[in-house]
């Protein structure tokens, strides 16, 4: 794991954006795995700026989102398809037909999940997967106790996740407690992974992910097995780590090496 600790969420977004921009510049037809939620929002703003400035183009990229709520239509305000349209897809030059988000209204969800996996395989896998982390250590909507070998499927959300995400829903609005999510093994097959975490409320999950045992109790801990995973944190999210100085020293050395 490459562990990068930065001062604040703006720096995290800038660093993350640079990594994803470099990926697309190197491989313009990159297959991107994308996330919703608060964590990637500033990064998406920076990507929008870079496209507007002509520094990068998503016109040949293909994207697969991690997850979607069961029971929400794509045009529902709180659907993850709507989130992506609003925060990224409608603001950059990606072709909408190249963007994939699981269908929350699929009549045969099992078949839809199998087709989602097949579509990823048809595009030769995900080059670069962007992740956030839940306060309980989930990635995608793979909640604690999810199989570390899981594939795309329907999952029941924990009450903590439902409560954490309640801020996006009006008090009188239906909030789903089921989601379709890429599986942990699906995520792990990505060639490169970058996870962003900011804020003190993520500090315990970040510690379990980086310094805890690999365990289904903290699904994100599986990233310890990934050969190319970068974890980008602000100091608040890194607040419970025990070996911070070591990670900072390794990162300084890595940057010196890359600058050569
Ligand atoms: C979103 C997703 C989730 C979030 C996680 C963190 O597509 O898959 O795993 O990344 O719940 O959410 P935020 O970023 O809102 O704290």
The pLDDT assigned to 259 comes to: 83
Q: pLDDT tens for residues 191-224?
A: 999 999 999 999 999 999 999 999 999 999 999 9
Q: How confident is the model at residue 258 (pLDDT cuts 50, 70, 90)?
A: confident
Rounded Cα gap, residues 20 and 184, in angstroms:
21
Averaged pLDDT, 75-95: 97
Tell whether ligand 1 has an atom less than 6 A from the beta carbon of residue 236. Answer: no
| Position 25 pLDDT exceeds 90 | yes
Mean pLDDT (the chain) is 97
Residue 45 has pLDDT above 90, yes or no: yes
Q: Ligand 1: which of 42, 131, 132 to mutate, judged by most atoms within 8 Å of the beta carbon?
A: 132
Q: Which is it for strands 178-181 and 192-197: parallel, antiparallel or unpaired?
A: unpaired
Nearest CA to ligand 1 atom 4: 132
**Cα 220 to Cα 209: distance, rounded to the nearest angstrom:** 5
CATH code for the part of the protein at 2-259: 3.40.50.1360
Q: What's the pLDDT at 141? A: 97
**Which member of 68, 117, 143, 164 is catalytic?**
143
User: Where are the chain's structural domains?
Assistant: 2-259
Core vs surface per residue 78-103: b (16+ CB within 10 A) or e: bbbbbbbbebbbebbebeeebbbbbb
- pLDDT at 260 exceeding the cut of 90: no
**Interval 123-132 mean pLDDT:** 98
76 annotated active-site:
no
Query: CB-side exposure of 249: number of CA atoms within 13 Å?
Result: 4
**Atom 3 of ligand 1, nearest CA residue:** 140
Nearest to 74 by CA among 61, 84, 64: 84
């Amino acid at each position: 794991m490459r562990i990068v600790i930065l001062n604040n969420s703006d720096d995290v977004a800038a660093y993350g954006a640079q990594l994803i921009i470099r990926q697309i510049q190197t491989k313009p037809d990159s297959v991107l795995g994308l996330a919703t939620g608060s964590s990637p929002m500033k990064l998406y703003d920076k990507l929008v700026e870079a496209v507007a400035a002509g520094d990068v183009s998503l016109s040949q990229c293909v994207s697969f989102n991690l997850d979607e709520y069961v029971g929400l239509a794509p045009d529902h305000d709180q659907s993850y398809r709507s989130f992506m349209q609003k925060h990224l897809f409608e603001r950059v030059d990606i072709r909408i037909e190249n963007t994939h988000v699981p269908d929350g209204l699929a009549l045969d969800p099992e078949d839809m999940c199998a087709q989602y996996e097949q579509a990823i395989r048809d595009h030769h896998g995900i080059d670069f997967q962007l992740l956030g982390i839940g306060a309980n250590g989930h990635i995608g909507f793979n909640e604690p106790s999810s199989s570390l070998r899981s594939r795309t499927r329907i999952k029941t959300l924990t009450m903590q996740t439902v409560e954490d995400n309640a801020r996006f829903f009006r008090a009188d609005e239906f909030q789903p407690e089921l989601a379709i999510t890429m599986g942990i093994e699906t995520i792990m097959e990505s060639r490169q992974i970058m996870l962003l975490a900011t804020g003190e409320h993520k500090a315990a999950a970040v510690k379990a992910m980086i310094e805890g045992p690999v365990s289904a109790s903290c699904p994100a801990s599986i990233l310890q097995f990934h050969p190319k995973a970068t974890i980008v944190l602000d100091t608040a999210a890194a607040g419970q780590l025990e070996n911070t100085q070591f990670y900072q020293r390794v990162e300084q050395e890595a940057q010196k090496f890359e600058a050569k």
